[in-house]
Amino acid sequence: SVGLIFRLWPMMRMRSDMMLLLLMQTFLGWKESVGLIFRLWPMMRMRSDMMLLLLMQTFLGWT
């Protein structure tokens, strides 16, 4: 899933702070991740498809 992030990053034109959030999420548990995503989402002005990707990865796990 970390590989997935790096493959999708250029395509999604993600800013580096979003990239950092994705990588941070890798090392956090899913409950902390979900809380973090919802707190940071408005501040980061993320598109909803990026939000969906973050949440999907949270529940799919990092295997």
The structure tokens listed for 40 are 């940071």
Q: What is the largest CA-CA distance in the chain?
A: 29
In tens digits, the chain (63 residues) has pLDDT values of 667 666 666 666 656 666 666 766 666 666 676 777 677 666 666 666 676 777 777 666 654
Query: Distance between CA atoms of 58 and 62, rounded to whole angstroms?
Result: 8
| pTM of the shown model | 0.30
